[in-house]
Amino acid sequence: MTPASRTPAAPPAPPLRERKKQRTRQTLIDTALTLFTRRGFGSVTLDELCAEVEVSKRTFFRYFTSKEDVALAPLHDVWRAYQGELAARLDALRATGDAADAVRTTGSDGPQTLLHLMRDALLAALDRTAADTDWTRRALLSHRLAERTPSMVAHGLHFCERTTGDVLELLHGALVLDGPDDPRPRFAGEMLLSAHRHALATWSARAGADPEPAPADVPDEAQLAALVRESVAALADGLALTATPRRTG
Amino acid sequence: MTPASRTPAAPPAPPLRERKKQRTRQTLIDTALTLFTRRGFGSVTLDELCAEVEVSKRTFFRYFTSKEDVALAPLHDVWRAYQGELAARLDALRATGDAADAVRTTGSDGPQTLLHLMRDALLAALDRTAADTDWTRRALLSHRLAERTPSMVAHGLHFCERTTGDVLELLHGALVLDGPDDPRPRFAGEMLLSAHRHALATWSARAGADPEPAPADVPDEAQLAALVRESVAALADGLALTATPRRTG
DNA sequence: CCATTTATGCCACTGAGTGGCACAAGCCTG
DNA sequence: CAGGCTTGTGCCACTCAGTGGCATAAATGG
């Protein structure tokens, strides 16, 4: 923090101005999560939040599109990273022209399923995002908050939907498909979403129900990653599940 | 409309007061769809809409929970019906204890998959809802509106999510599953949702792009039903789709 | 040190959504 | 066809999210 401290081994050292922006953004997110968690999403006004962070409301809206947006930022970040990861993988695929060796994360047999390609991109995104200091804690708070805040659910679903839409454009540019209306990649994308949401819910439920967990009580992203894998694997079972009536007892 | 006209073969004749309510509701929906379609969702204020229908804003909110809600009402009605249909089918299933003959809509081999059970419930719901006079026209307007109105998308997704949640409770009460956290029924429910959304999009796209279609230009619900079947059938292909890179050219 | 860009603050404004209360219209008695 | 009772509606004032415009302050680059 001292002005004279030289950055030990920083990459290209981000332009000083950018730092402040990121710092305000992070502060907004953190105080928002704290306040919302403590007193409920609906009971905290933006004016309060802004006063707390000492930022004008106008400025808040230059960082986030809505009150819900700031509360969901940690979760949204994953999806942004996912989009990037997937784009990179698709480029690699097109370059080598071979699905099998383009993606090193799988020592698989034959060309990969799109769903698995997406899953791996998501896992990589998770890994990258979670590299940030205590992302998991924030993500947990974010998700817990969403569980009891309908408008956050709506906002989150919509965000995912938009991301899926963007991803679909990438896919249609990079893969051989049955025309621009082929529903299969969309289905795959939405299934991944389902799986991810379930993984997140399970992850959150497994952690202690502490409303403001200490850093130590927060489950790590490895557990989440494992749950994502499980969930994706379970998708096919969901499709094939037969309806066995329960005996009334 | 004449007071003395005797209802020819009306069932029990709904309590006169209820009629007015339904009429106001329908008027609100129709004028909302018209105004929104003509001038855009965001450019019509609730005050305008209410003035047009000659109803106070306070009253509006006794019928609908939000501005988005009224614009999506036709689509929401299907899901409400779906919930009812599914509940009925589950009851039938539990009563007979046999999946095969409980549901007459399918002359299938062996017990039915949950997905197909849900699909049939949705188709039945569609059928029932579309019995109302020009539901299809309204639904089409509703969907077209949603396509260019982000907040409507968010609201619609959230509504479906809630419905799915309610349905899951029914399922866990009626079916043999792997405990309360078994993700399979949830996956099935969300896949049906995906399929339905795709069907709706295709249906809407196939109809002429007329912003205010004449009744004759509106596709019927049979076409939508067919698309739902197709989409559900295509789900498995989405799951299994292999990522074949497109040759750059 | 100055000029340009870029982030922020301030202020006034729209419009969705809510709560409270008084009023009127349908509705069940006798 | 009173009477009270229930239920839906109108009106009013209020909160608060979100936006636009313009002046100002801070970083950047010469």
Q: How many domains does chain B have?
A: 2
Contact present, B236 and A165 (Cβ < 8 Å): no
Over residues A17-35, mean pLDDT: 95
Least trusted range by pLDDT, from A3-12, A135-144, B21-30: A3-12
- Contacts of A230 by beta carbon, 8 Å cutoff, 6+ apart: A199
Contact B234/A at CB under 8 A:
yes
Contact present, A174 and A94 (Cβ < 8 Å): yes
Residue closest to B48 by CA, chosen among B31, B63, B30, B65: B31
DSSP state of A215: G
Say whether pLDDT at A194 is over 80. Answer: yes
| Residues of chain A found within 8 Å of residue B198, distances taken between Cβ atoms | 183, 186-187
Cα–Cα distance list, A139 to A75, A207, B200 (Å):
6, 12, 34
A144-154 burial: b if 16+ Cβ within 10 Å, else e: bbbeebebbbb
Say whether pLDDT at A7 is over 50. Answer: no
Provide the pLDDT confidence category of residue B215 given band limits of 50, 70 and 90. low
Say whether pLDDT at B111 is over 90. Answer: no
- A5: distance to nearest CA of chain B, Å? 47
Task: State the pLDDT at residue A213.
Answer: 62
Residue B243 lies in a domain: no
| Residues of chain B found within 8 Å of residue A155, distances taken between Cβ atoms | 154
Residue A247 lies in a domain: no
Element (H, E) at A162: helix A150-174
* Chain A: residue whose CA lies nearest to B247: A94
What is the domain-level CATH number for residue A149?
1.10.357
Residue A5 lies in a domain: no
Asked if A152 and A138 sit in the same domain, the reply is yes
Task: State the pLDDT at residue A133.
Answer: 81
- Contacts of A221 by beta carbon, 8 Å cutoff, 6+ apart: A126, A127, A130, A135, A136
Chain A 153-172, residues with CB within 8 Å of chain B CB atoms: 153-155, 157-158, 161
Over residues A41-67, mean pLDDT: 97
Over residues B232-240, mean pLDDT: 98
DSSP states of chain B as a string?
A: --TTPPPSS-SS---HHHHHHHHHHHHHHHHHHHHHHHH-GGGS-HHHHHHHHT--HHHHHHH-SSHHHHHHHHHHHHHHHHHHHHHHHHHHHHHH--HHHH-TT---SSSPBHHHHHHHHHHHHHHHHTTSTTHHHHHHHHHHHHHT-HHHHHHHHHHHHHHHHHHHHHHHHHB--SSTT-HHHHHHHHHHHHHHHHHHHHHHHHS---SS--GGGSPPHHHHHHHHHHHHHHHHHHHH-B--BPPP-
Nucleotides in chain D with any atom closer than 7 Å to protein CB: 8-12, 15-21, 27-29
Cross-strand pairs, B175: A245
Phi, psi of B175 (to 5 degrees): -115, 160
Contact present, A237 and A143 (Cβ < 8 Å): no
| Residues of chain A found within 8 Å of residue B93, distances taken between Cβ atoms | 243, 245
Provide the pLDDT confidence category of residue A102 given band limits of 50, 70 and 90. very low
Task: State the pLDDT at residue B225.
Answer: 97
Asked if B42 and B134 sit in the same domain, the reply is no
Percent of chain A clearing pLDDT 90 (strictly above): 76
Contact present, B66 and B159 (Cβ < 8 Å): no
Tens digits of per-residue pLDDT, B141-180? 999 999 999 999 999 999 999 999 999 999 999 999 999 9
If you average pLDDT over every residue of chain B, what do you get?
88
- A206: distance to nearest CA of chain B, Å? 12
Cross-strand pairs, A113: B242
B64, B82, B103 — which closes off a domain? B64
Say whether pLDDT at A130 is over 80. Answer: yes
Is B16's CB less than 7 Å from nucleic acid strand C? yes
Residue A218 tokens, joined: 């927060």
State how far the Cα of B85 lies from the Cα of B90, in Å rounded to an integer. Answer: 9
Provide the pLDDT confidence category of residue A95 given band limits of 50, 70 and 90. confident
Asked if B49 and B133 sit in the same domain, the reply is no
Over residues B120-139, mean pLDDT: 94
Residue A225 lies in a domain: yes
Say whether pLDDT at A11 is over 90. Answer: no
Say whether pLDDT at A204 is over 70. Answer: yes
What is the domain-level CATH number for residue B45?
1.10.10.60
Tens digits of per-residue pLDDT, B2-56? 333 333 444 556 677 889 999 999 999 999 999 999 999 999 999 999 999 999 9
Residue A125 lies in a domain: yes
Phi, psi of A2 (to 5 degrees): -65, 140
Contact present, B125 and A122 (Cβ < 8 Å): no
Over residues A11-24, mean pLDDT: 80
Contact A206/B at CB under 8 A:
no
Provide the pLDDT confidence category of residue B140 given band limits of 50, 70 and 90. very high
Say whether pLDDT at A209 is over 50. Answer: yes
Task: State the pLDDT at residue A3.
Answer: 43
Nearest nt to the CA of B42 via C1' is C15
DSSP states of A106-118 as a string?
A: ---SSSPBHHHHH
Cα–Cα distance list, B234 to A185, B183, B185 (Å):
11, 21, 18
Asked if B57 and B137 sit in the same domain, the reply is no
Over residues A31-38, mean pLDDT: 98
Say whether pLDDT at B243 is over 80. Answer: yes
Task: State the pLDDT at residue B97.
Answer: 62
Contact present, B170 and B62 (Cβ < 8 Å): no
Residue A155 lies in a domain: yes
Asked if A22 and A132 sit in the same domain, the reply is no
State how far the Cα of A226 lies from the Cα of A195, in Å rounded to an integer. Answer: 12
Over residues A41-59, mean pLDDT: 97
Secondary structure of residue A98 in the 3-state scheme? coil
Contact B198/A at CB under 8 A:
yes
Asked if B55 and B85 sit in the same domain, the reply is no
Cross-strand pairs, B245: A175
Asked if A43 and A73 sit in the same domain, the reply is no
Provide the pLDDT confidence category of residue A9 given band limits of 50, 70 and 90. very low
Asked if A58 and A86 sit in the same domain, the reply is no
Asked if B150 and B75 sit in the same domain, the reply is yes
Nucleotides in chain C with any atom closer than 7 Å to protein CB: 6-11, 14-20, 26-28
Q: What angle (nearest 5°) sits at the alpha carbon of residue B10, between those of residues B8 and B14?
A: 135
Contact A222/B at CB under 8 A:
no
Asked if B144 and B57 sit in the same domain, the reply is no
State how far the Cα of B101 lies from the Cα of B108, in Å rounded to an integer. Answer: 9
List the domain range (segments joined by +) for residue B83: 68-237
Over residues A109-125, mean pLDDT: 91
Higher-pLDDT residue of A104 and B226 is B226
Asked if B19 and B94 sit in the same domain, the reply is no
Residue B9 lies in a domain: no
Chain B 33-72, residues with CB within 8 Å of chain A CB atoms: none
Contact B16/A at CB under 8 A:
no
Task: State the pLDDT at residue A207.
Answer: 80
Say whether pLDDT at B96 is over 90. Answer: no
Residue B248 lies in a domain: no
Provide the pLDDT confidence category of residue A208 given band limits of 50, 70 and 90. low
Say whether pLDDT at B99 is over 60. Answer: no
Asked if A35 and A83 sit in the same domain, the reply is no
Is B24's CB less than 7 Å from nucleic acid strand D? yes
Q: Distance of alpha carbon B56 from its chain centroid, rounded?
A: 28
- Asked if A231's CB is within 8 angstroms of B236's CB, the reply is no
- Angstrom distance, A242 CA to C21 C1': 55
